[in-house]
Amino acid sequence: MTEKPVALIVLAAGQGSRMQSDLPKVLHRLGAVPLVGHALATGRRLEPETVVVVAGHGADQVRKAVAKLDPDARVALQEQQMGTAHAVLQALPLLEGFEGRVLVLYGDTPFIAEETLGMLASHPSDVIVLGFEAADPGRYGRLVTGPDGLERIVEYKDADEATRAIRLVNSGVLAADAATLREILPQIGNRNAAGEYYLTDLPGLARAAGLRVDVVTCDEPETLGINTRAELAAAEAAFQARARAQALEDGVTLSDPATVWFALDTCIGRDAVIGQNVVFGPGVTVESGAEILSFCHLEGCHVSAGATIGPFARLRAGAELGADVHVGNFVEIKNSVLDEGVKVGHLTYLGDADVGEATNIGAGTVTCNYDGVSKHRTRIGAHAFIGSDTMLVAPVAVGARAMTGSGSVITEDVPDDALALGRARQVTKPGLAARLMQALRQKKGR
């Protein structure tokens, strides 16, 4: 995408004390994934050669989360949080041998757009600072520009009135060639009130070394950083509003947009219909023409074209639903494959199951997939009919076109075309119910 190869450094070492949480700030969830996942997902669209996440507070937790979000990313440890420049220095050893453009991002700044990162990556200057025109510049550092690019970054406390009137402010995000970072970062000192090494000193030192320093700008909402629970809630509202608007623009019908909740990676095809109060967790794909009815929860699943889900259904990780599958009221499906045309009407749990095409699963069916130690699979052939209230004790197989009687407990494989009955014979005792109730009432003194 750019002439120079690209590497990403994502700063994620801070504690985030204002969140009032034991959880590292970058692991708080936005759009159903940790905050740091947003920076990683957007940055990956530039096809970087290397991604380094700098962890500090809660490093083990951050490392585990990053391994799930981006298995190819590497993690550098900042044992002492001594400022942003110090954090970038910790990442440089993991970029040994890399010669190209390095983008420095923040794990708590989730909304910077791919196009903005592309401008940073492709800009011809030696150092590029991301700025924005602030509606209320407040205490942001001001970006003072001139005919030769960015002249200096002035912190609010050091600015005179004329400088404070500048509305172009610093986002903290920047890009520079790897060679420039290796040369300039060690020159940054910590002669400031906090005794920390600040990345904002890099542009000035680069300019003093005769390098070209410039600014690219983005819209202010892209630079929103998360520091408090209130800001996280506001960011969630902004994320959901954008996701809903994008879904509508992409040709998805949302019956009540304000009640539909998306994850960062939710993928829905055109002409799909999404009912009220539907929640998408991570890893969901819904193909064109499928319908998700009200009050459903989906995560880690794939729904094919023409399928209908719900209302009040739950699809969990590993649920693969073929074309024209119907999953109805109060059905839960986990780690199961349902082939084309399967019907699971209501009140059923299918876990660790493979169900052949056009099979009907009766109400109250349960795949008993867990023996207390291990999970086991149930396999049901095509065009089978599973009677209501069937307990399928895995591992077990039901053949094609086979049937199970309602109320059966199936513990052995059922051949193709067979009928399996696994229930005790009914015994009827005439008049016994009335006599039993009378005895019970007398015992209770009624």
Domain ranges of the chain: 6-223, 229-420
Per-residue pLDDT at 82 = 93
User: Phi/psi zone of residue 253: left (φ > 0), alpha (ψ -120 to 50 degrees), beta?
Assistant: beta
**Length in residues, the chain:** 446
For residue 337, give the amino acid letter: V
Q: What is the separation of C-alpha 82 from the centre of its chain, rounded to a whole number of angstroms?
A: 30
Per-residue pLDDT at 1 = 43
Give backbone dihedrals phi and psi of 349, rounded to 5 degrees, phi first. Answer: -120, 120
DSSP class of 428: -
Per-residue pLDDT at 446 = 64
Q: Taking the alpha carbons of 150, 103, 106, 259 in that order, is the dihedral positive or negative?
A: positive
Protein fold of 229-420:
UDP N-Acetylglucosamine Acyltransferase; domain 1 (2.160.10)
Q: Taking the alpha carbons of 225, 46, 86, 72 in that order, is the dihedral positive or negative?
A: positive
Q: How far apart are CA 408 and CA 377, in angstroms?
A: 18
User: Phi/psi zone of residue 113: left (φ > 0), alpha (ψ -120 to 50 degrees), beta?
Assistant: beta
Choosing from 57, 326, 346, 383, the catalytic residue is: 346
Between β-strands 314-315 and 253-254, what pairing exists: parallel, antiparallel or unpaired? Answer: unpaired
Between β-strands 127-133 and 168-177, what pairing exists: parallel, antiparallel or unpaired? Answer: antiparallel
Of all residues in the chain, what percent are helix, strand and coil, respectively (each to 5)?
25, 30, 45
Q: How far apart are CA 282 and CA 190, in angstroms?
A: 42
Look-up of token digits 């049901």? 380
Give me the average pLDDT of each 10-residue run along the chain (446 residues).
84 92 96 98 97 97 97 96 95 96 97 97 97 92 93 88 94 96 95 87 94 97 95 97 98 98 98 98 98 98 98 98 98 98 97 98 98 96 98 98 97 98 92 94 84
- Specify whether 346 is catalytic: yes
For residue 362, give the amino acid letter: G
Contact 376, 352 (CB under 8 A): yes
End-to-end CA distance of the chain: 84
DSSP class of 78: -
pTM: 0.91
Q: How far apart are CA 24 and CA 22, in angstroms?
A: 6
**The two three-digit tokens of residue 38, written as one number:** 């947003």
**CB within 8 Å of 111: residues ≥ 6 apart:** 38, 221, 222, 223, 224, 235, 238, 239
C-alpha distance from residue 292 to each of 313, 342, 359 (Å): 9, 16, 21
Per-residue pLDDT at 233 = 98
**CATH number for the domain formed by residue range(s) 6-223:** 3.90.550.10
